[in-house]
Structure 1
């Protein structure tokens, strides 16, 4: 009897020890890093740079997988069904929160674990080099003079970029419907549309357009930030042009995971992110791209997501996108 009791106690103890050992050994194999966008966009570029830096800290490969489609539906389905063991993580942006309140209502901010916020970045508008539009006022005037004549490329309706456009239009007293919003699978695709002349303008970020602006293929007509972008010192902000757009609305980038990841594993991932963001390569990239370092660990990031979700719902209702 005593032998059986001792054996049972040993088995019970092992059930408690085994998970702790597993967490202490984490990670022991490659980590999947799922993206909701096509290759080449701003989120994709930063994710790949971040993955390389995190690999040095974690000691295992981070395998970036592009899963565009359905405004994040493909990515999130894979992420939600994955084991919450820290071996599957995903990129998240403000656009995801918009999707939770519109097209992907099977999910919400509580459906995933919020692991770490990375950066924020201001939105800007670029136009094709052949466009007659030279400033944000020119765009507003063109839209008012001939509604529908200006085509704006961006990510899907309800995305962070779409809300940025609505905020810009509101600051100018412009009915945003006078500009034709054309959605694409990524911001990179939207920029390509403007380059190819399929759209006169696009909502984007510094890092995605700098090469084309420097080459003279695109022209920045306004940035929704408090200060001018270091990369475009001659481009006035919207406020400098007389449009008091809310510059607190910026694109957020972060990392999430399946619901239920053990706290020690989330902490280890967040610590690797924080360390990666301090590497010379990432610091240089963020400065070059006008990204604002905004690291937050799990608890803070979770609270931030909840606040942004509330603001997103407010904009959704205002624009009639919740129906």
Structure 2
């Protein structure tokens, strides 16, 4: 019996040593990066700009795959169903923090381990360059005179456009038809083709098209004008009451399954911290009107919780939440 016990302990010790060794060698192969939105959108642009710098820090390749759909639920679910071994990471945006109040899913970022909250962006309401409106006030007047006529690009319930629309409707009335796309990129393509009339977008996705003259900025969702789009007025010029929700903006984050080993989480966190801090990526954020955050660990968790609280209760006030934040345990800000 004693001999069997000692043999068992030796095997267990050997197994633990092998597992520990495997963790110590991480990563031994390519990592899959799941982007929860489509190609050409803000999350996709951020992921593809950041990843080469992270690959350099990790010493391996990160193979990026777009898995849009369900306001990002499909991409996040894909990562949550993969083994918790650090070989699948989620490149996500802010949307998961609203899944519960929009009735989309019963999970959010608290069901995962955040690796890095990369940065936070600005929002611009954009329209095709040939539209007659000079600013958002003009569009709002037209919408009042032609209710239900305008086509607004969206990304589904809980997406950035629907959230901005809900905030607007909490202080005014913007009666439009929603046309849903799998991300900013497809929405921009539809706008350029004349299939929709306007769309709230991350500045990171829209700025190049505005600079080229293909799109025009009607308003930035800020209190004041911004350096990146000096000719685009802040939304408070048309809707002064919007100021109560500002500053506000989308963000981008990287996360893994919640039960991923601590050693692997630490390795990934260190690599993404270095990647975000890279001078070239910092320049990318700056050129696209985004603020670098580069948060890990407890700081990342606190940021995610605060953003969720502020936004969820703003949507509740606007009457756009399908489920009360209180019912799903989201505290008031």
Taking structure 1 as the reference length, what is the TM-score of the superposition? 0.90
| Aligned-residue offset at 1:242 | 5.7
**In structure 1, which of residues 227, 230, 244 is the aligned counterpart of residue 227 of structure 2?**
230
SS of match in other structure, 2:186: helix
Q: Is residue 312–residue 321 contact of structure 2 (8 Å, CA) maintained in 1?
A: no
Q: Is residue 157–residue 183 contact of structure 1 (8 Å, CA) maintained in 2?
A: no
**In structure 1, which of residues 187, 206, 213 is the aligned counterpart of residue 210 of structure 2?**
213
Q: Which runs of 4+ in 1 moved over 4 A?
A: 1-6
| Aligned-residue offset at 1:150 | 2.3
SS of match in other structure, 2:102: coil
**Is residue 2:149 matched to residue 1:149?**
yes
| Aligned-residue offset at 1:227 | 4.3
Q: Is residue 115–residue 265 contact of structure 2 (8 Å, CA) maintained in 1?
A: yes
Residue of structure 2 equivalent to 1:122: 122
Q: How does 1:38-53 map to 2 (within 5 A)?
A: 38-53=38-53
* Separation (CA, whole Å) in 2 of partners of 1:76 and 1:312: 20
Shift in CA distance, 224/313, structure 1 to aligned 2, threshold 3 Å: closer
Structure 1 residues without counterparts, runs of 5 or longer:
none
| Aligned-residue offset at 1:244 | 4.3
Residue of structure 1 equivalent to 2:190: 193
Alignment coverage as a number of residue pairs: 320
| Aligned-residue offset at 1:20 | 2.6
| Aligned-residue offset at 1:152 | 1.6
CA RMSD of aligned residues (A): 2.2
Taking structure 2 as the reference length, what is the TM-score of the superposition? 0.88
Moved more, 256-265 or 92-101: 92-101
Moved more, 179-188 or 232-241: 232-241
Moved more, 110-119 or 299-308: 299-308
Q: Is residue 123–residue 161 contact of structure 1 (8 Å, CA) maintained in 2?
A: no
Residue of structure 2 equivalent to 1:258: 257
Q: Deviations over 1:67-105 (max 9, x none)?
A: 112222322232111111111111121112223433432
* Separation (CA, whole Å) in 2 of partners of 1:115 and 1:136: 37
Residue of structure 2 equivalent to 1:310: 309
**In structure 1, which of residues 163, 175, 195 is the aligned counterpart of residue 173 of structure 2?**
175
Shift in CA distance, 274/244, structure 1 to aligned 2, threshold 3 Å: farther
**Is residue 2:89 matched to residue 1:92?**
no
